[in-house]
Chains A and B, each alone.
Chain A
Amino acid sequence: MSANEFLPWVRRAAAPQALPDVPAPLDAGCTTADSPSGLQRRTFIQLLGLGGLVMAFGPGGVRRLEAAEPTPGAAADPWSPHVYVRIDDDGAVTIVCHRSEMGQGIRTTMPMIIADEMEADWARCRVEQAVGDPKFGSQNTDGSTSIRDFLHKYREAGATTRALLEAAAASQWNVDVAEVFARQHEVVHRPTGRTKSFGELVTTARTVAMPAPSSVRIKRPDERRWQGRKMPSIDLVPMTTGTAVYGADVTLPGMKVAAIARPPVWGAKAVSVDEAEARKVPGVERIVRIPETPIPGAFLPLGGVAVIAKNTWAALRGRDALKITWDAGPNGTHDSQAYKATLQASVRAPGKPGRTNGDAGAALAASSRKVSAEYHVPYLSHAQMEPMAAIARVQDGKVEAWAPTQSPNDARNTLAEYLKVDAANVTVHVTLLGGGFGRKSKPDFICEAAFLAREVGAPVRVQWSREDDLRHSYYHAVAAHRLEAALDASGKVTAWLHRSAYPSISATFAPNLPGPSPDELTNGASDIPWDIPNMSVEVCPAVAHARIGWYRSVNAIHHGFAIGSFVDELAREAGKDPAAFLLDLIGPDRKVDLSKAGLVGAGDTYYGAPWAEHPLETARVRRVVESVKQRSGWGTPLPRGRGRGIAVHRSFLSYVAMVVEVEVSPDGTVLVPRATVAVDAGFVANPDRAKAQMEGALIMGMSNTLYSEITFAEGTVQQSNYNDYRVARMRASPHVVDVHVVESEGLPGGIGEPGVPPAGAAIANAIFAATGVRVRELPVGRQLDGWEARASDKGRAVAG
């Protein structure tokens, strides 16, 4: 693949991929998208467990569709007014979900928008998971894009279908189409009250001319049934009864299980392999070398030594019994302690400008009241609950894979490239994802399964252990930040200098990259909403020594932590209330076209959208801050050891503010008893799922801030499992998360990611309020041990 394709930190085409505006006939492979070719559908449904991927549902609950299997003949040529919609002759509606479900609820939200617009009866709709196919438009479920890129397409798909059914009814009755309207799976003739069910209209609807997209009428807000209201997830029954199908839950006849010993260092190669002990493990059948992929490797597997066995336990035991000598290669000296100093030195020298307003250097030099601080955020790993697993079969030159992938088309293209077959001969089925967070947008693990399936001539499931997951991830970049600001006599910020250094995601795709590009700063550093006349936001060199990848909210994690913490430090220095200071810093209401605001080296698009469509609206920043300030009881007294912190951040085109309350025990343990969140993401289709994303983002923010850290020594990850890669658990987690989803008809922004960036700063600021200890290096870990004795330390930033 071309490295250029992947250079932007947000892996997006310049503009969202267009969808066909005319209906594309569905090929047989798609109408049975859940079914592998060569297997009887019945067999496969048994394998998957009916209900995992084929469900009927209603607003009041979920039920299994007993007659989910199409009758012979009917399924051969169902009416498909749009690639996302099929209607059988009996009126049953199938909505094809082309995005991957990883907890954000898209398998519910996408269908509910379409069903709402087409006036389908929700209880007569079912959802089918699409295979990877470009005809669906982008299926790359990352960048918080599902609704912000597709809301209009989903509405148009539903409204087009409705228009065709209405036209069909008008034709059957021989009346003007203006006299008819669709209502809950039927079309009504207004003057006479006559009705025709959707099923009765399908045959005629096939013959009706497709309306031009511009002529299709999208519902007015007052006509919507479900959009903007809570809709329960369609997968609740399988998820609570153990029948939901994730990656490792797919089994094929004659399937083998593989576990792989991968190079412990990025770019290492196996020098010698002693297989003797592994072969003695009962159930081990074969040992297969997978060639190491040279750095940078992109989406391709790391390579290594695979143990093929008849079951998972034998594969894991056999893998652990391998004795391999590795040549570590150039990254064998990578050491997190030393690298921290490297990054720190990098941000102490000027970098490449990403935003320049006025003259921050001169303003700082002239100021008598300067504040500076440096921050450090470690490597992180997604540690999603489901370790990678993929199943593949290679037969007659055709490759078929089942995987919990965020991006089935990337998987398909990468498999084609890796196995040197035509993409037309590759099918990728998407299971549910047991968490994704960006890790599962990389198909390296699917390539492993396909390579091994071809080598052994049988279907293979590759099962990663948790240790594999933590040691062979695509890590969230370790980052250093340096911020400097000048305050005038009244405490107003007159200059802002922000430098950051972190290995770039682009280094996973392009060799010998000296560091990130200024464009990466538009992920929450150069697009800040502050009203400051002199600003310089710069990015500094950092060479990658590990695979770097997207992790929920990407660079906005460390940008948000450093910026949100520094603003709190400035407020303390100015002697002002942090919330009041924040509102002052946001300044007067204004709409800023960021592409004309002094950005340097920014991309053609902003989170993949046109810059002009998403100006920075400071009124929206102010509104979310005021919302959390008011609802959190900001300013009311708290007992000793408790404190509140506030932060606001915009990323993925959405605005999120948080007030987090922490309780720090005398031994330094941090609990987060409550949090208040406000999110303005434009139009929100399914507000309860948006709330759930905010709850989850806050708790993932707790993990990132309080506990989690990947470190390297001699090029090797030092953590192994959840005992030393710690994440948030229930005891520390909030009892109350009060989420305010701002009601809006505005263009939708992201929901999955924007909640994470403000969480880190809000927690760190709350810790300062509670203890007087300023946390500038993450994770907090044991930094608060003995905080009471140090309580006199006000944690003030050192005047620079």
Chain B
Amino acid sequence: MITLTVNGTRRTFEGDPTMPLLWYLRDELALTGTKYGCGVAQCGSCTVHVGGKPARACRVLMSELEGAAVTTIEGLHARGEHPLQVAWREIDVPQCGFCQPGQIMQAAGLLQRTPKPTDQEIDAAMNGHICRCGTYPRIRAAIKSAAEKSS
């Protein structure tokens, strides 16, 4: 049995220990904001925080999560008003929106470490994410806007 917390709630898991966190979140907890895009940590759509740091939920196995604290997009901010979520809406970043929870979780990790990132730091942190609609320029702008407003 594996015990972990997800968005502050204690959970136990007794299923297949090779199951990636992604499918546990989606299939068992119905936290569907974490998206499946590739399964091999190439696209970033499934990004959550494990122990406060961005992680690709498709490549973290349940067996690795004993005692871990997991935060998903649903738990990033109680009212959905994290500065990044607000900036995303102000700049109208999403097109289809599918990759955006993962993008926001990655950006939240970046701002925690680097509150005032340069363009190069943003590019380096976000380059593991794919947005097929091509919202990259607006994502970059939204991260900078959130960083400026947090000062």
Contacts and interface: CB of A to CB of B under 8 A. Distances in A.
The answer to whether A and B assemble together is yes
Interface of A: 49, 61-62, 101-105, 232-233, 235-246, 248-249, 251, 257, 282-283, 311-314, 316-317, 382-387, 432-437, 463, 465-466, 688, 692-693, 695-700, 703, 721-723, 727-731, 733-737
B101 A242 contact: yes
Nearest to B84: A240
A699 B139 CA distance: 13
Interface string B12-42: 0001101110010011101111111111101
| A-B pairs, 3 with minimum CB distance | A242-B33, A699-B134, A434-B98
A621 B111 CA distance: 44
B70 interface: no
A255 to B, nearest CB: 10
B55 interface: no
Given A311-B27, A312-B26, A733-B136, A103 B96 contact: yes
A695 B122 CA distance: 19
Chain A's interface: helix, strand, loop or mixed, by majority? Answer: loop
Given A695-B134, A698-B134, A731 B123 contact: yes
B96 A386 contact: yes
Contacts of A463: 36
B98 A696 contact: no
A435 B98 contact: yes
Given A237-B80, A696-B95, A722 B38 contact: yes
Contacts of B34: 242
B104 interface: yes
B95 A722 contact: no
A233 B94 contact: yes
Contacts of B100: 239-240
B80 A383 contact: no
Contact of A692 (B38, B88, B135): B135
Identify which of B30, B36, B96 gathers the most chain A CB atoms within 10 Å of its CB.
Answer: B96
Interface in B93-138: 94-101, 104, 119, 122-124, 126-138
A243 B140 CA distance: 23
B94 A235 contact: yes
Interface of B: 15-16, 18-20, 23, 26-28, 30-40, 42-43, 45, 72-74, 80, 85, 88-89, 92, 94-101, 104, 119, 122-124, 126-140
A387 B26 CA distance: 15
Contact of B136 (A49, A283, A699): A699
A385 B132 contact: yes
A496 to B, nearest CB: 32
Chain B's interface: helix, strand, loop or mixed, by majority? Answer: loop
Contacts of A729: 127-130, 136
Contacts of A245: 32
B95 A232 contact: no
Nearest to B80: A241
Contacts, number: 193
A433 B16 contact: no
Contact of A235 (B74, B97, B124): B97
B32 A248 contact: yes
Given A283-B16, A722-B42, A311 B28 contact: yes
Contact of A688 (B32, B74, B92): B92
Contacts of B31: 242
26 contacts: A61-B89, A103-B96, A104-B95, A236-B92, A241-B73, A241-B101, A242-B34, A311-B19, A316-B39, A385-B98, A385-B131, A385-B132, A387-B37, A432-B98, A465-B39, A695-B134, A697-B134, A699-B134, A700-B132, A722-B40, A722-B42, A727-B132, A729-B136, A730-B129, A733-B134, A733-B136
Identify which of B19, B92, B129 gathers the most chain A CB atoms within 10 Å of its CB.
Answer: B92
A740 to B, nearest CB: 16
B41 to A, nearest CB: 9
A365 B124 CA distance: 55
Nearest to B82: A240
B91 to A, nearest CB: 10
A140 to B, nearest CB: 18
Identify which of B36, B43, B135 gathers the most chain A CB atoms within 10 Å of its CB.
Answer: B36
Contact of B94 (A49, A236, A317, A730): A236
B16 A314 contact: yes
A468 to B, nearest CB: 11
Contacts of A465: 39
Contacts of B101: 240-242
B137 A721 contact: no
B36 A387 contact: yes
A241 B82 CA distance: 10
B42 A241 contact: no
Contacts of A693: 95
B60 to A, nearest CB: 13
A466 B32 contact: no
A49 B32 contact: yes
Contacts of B88: 236, 240
A660 B128 CA distance: 24
B104 A240 contact: yes
A232 B131 CA distance: 20
A736 B16 CA distance: 47
Identify which of A257, A463, A721, A733 gathers the most chain B CB atoms within 10 Å of its CB.
Answer: A733
Given A386-B98, A466-B38, A721-B40, A731 B127 contact: yes
Nearest to A733: B136
Contacts of A312: 23, 26-27, 36
Nearest to A737: B137
Contact of B92 (A282, A435, A692, A737): A692
Contact of A240 (B30, B85, B126, B128): B85
A493 to B, nearest CB: 33
Contacts of B119: 735
A257 B85 contact: no
A384 B45 CA distance: 12
B132 A383 contact: yes
Given A241-B80, A241-B85, A251 B39 contact: no
A38 B35 CA distance: 28
B16 A385 contact: no
Given A283-B16, A314-B16, A242 B72 contact: yes
B45 A385 contact: yes
A384 B97 CA distance: 11
B111 to A, nearest CB: 15
B97 A103 contact: yes
B16 A282 contact: yes
Contacts of A104: 95
Contact of A733 (B38, B42, B73, B137): B137
B72 A466 contact: no
Contacts of A735: 119, 137, 140
Nearest to A692: B95
A692 B100 CA distance: 15
Given A241-B74, A312-B27, A730 B97 contact: no
Contacts of A734: 136-137
A595 B88 CA distance: 46
A727 B26 contact: no
A670 to B, nearest CB: 15
Given A313-B16, A730-B139, A731-B127, 13 more contacts: A102-B96, A241-B73, A242-B74, A312-B27, A385-B35, A385-B43, A385-B45, A434-B35, A693-B95, A703-B132, A728-B134, A728-B136, A730-B136
Identify which of A241, A692, A731 gathers the most chain B CB atoms within 10 Å of its CB.
Answer: A241
Given A236-B88, A385-B37, A735-B140, A244 B97 contact: yes
A383 B137 CA distance: 20
Contacts of B139: 730
B98 A721 contact: no
Contacts of A103: 94-97, 133
Nearest to A755: B134
A24 B151 CA distance: 56
Nearest to B62: A313
A692 B96 CA distance: 11
Nearest to A244: B97
Nearest to A702: B134
